[in-house]
């Protein structure tokens, strides 16, 4: 018996990579080099599996702005 390929029925790019919340299309941004670096510095975790179609490739504008503010010293960790 051939094994069926597992496939999620939901598009992973409707969820923010950072907070995991559903994100409306107009609030989504592609993950840039800045986001990758800031994410690593803030969380201490490298992004993985980005070559896989099931991995999220977007973040919400709010999370990206919070990372930007944090890197500029305008936001404290966790807030």
Cβ atoms within 10 Å, residue 19 = 13
- The answer to whether 22 touches 15, Cβ cutoff 8 Å, is yes
Q: Quote the pLDDT of residue 75.
A: 86
Q: Quote the pLDDT of residue 30.
A: 93
Question: What DSSP string describes 52-75?
Answer: STTS--EEEHHHHHHHHHHHTTSS
Residue segments in the chain with a per-residue pLDDT below the cut of 70: 1-8, 78-79
Phi and psi (nearest 5°) for 58? -135, 165
| Number of residues that make up the chain | 79
Q: Quote the pLDDT of residue 72.
A: 93
Q: Quote the pLDDT of residue 42.
A: 92
């Amino acid at each position: 018996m051939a094994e069926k390929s597992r496939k999620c029925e939901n598009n992973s790019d409707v969820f923010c990579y950072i907070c995991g919340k559903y994100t409306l299309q107009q609030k989504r941004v592609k993950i840039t080099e800045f986001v990758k670096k800031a994410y690593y510095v803030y969380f201490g975790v490298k992004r993985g599996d980005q070559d896989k179609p099931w991995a999220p490739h977007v973040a919400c504008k709010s999370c990206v702005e919070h990372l930007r503010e944090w890197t500029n010293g305008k936001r404290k960790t966790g807030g």
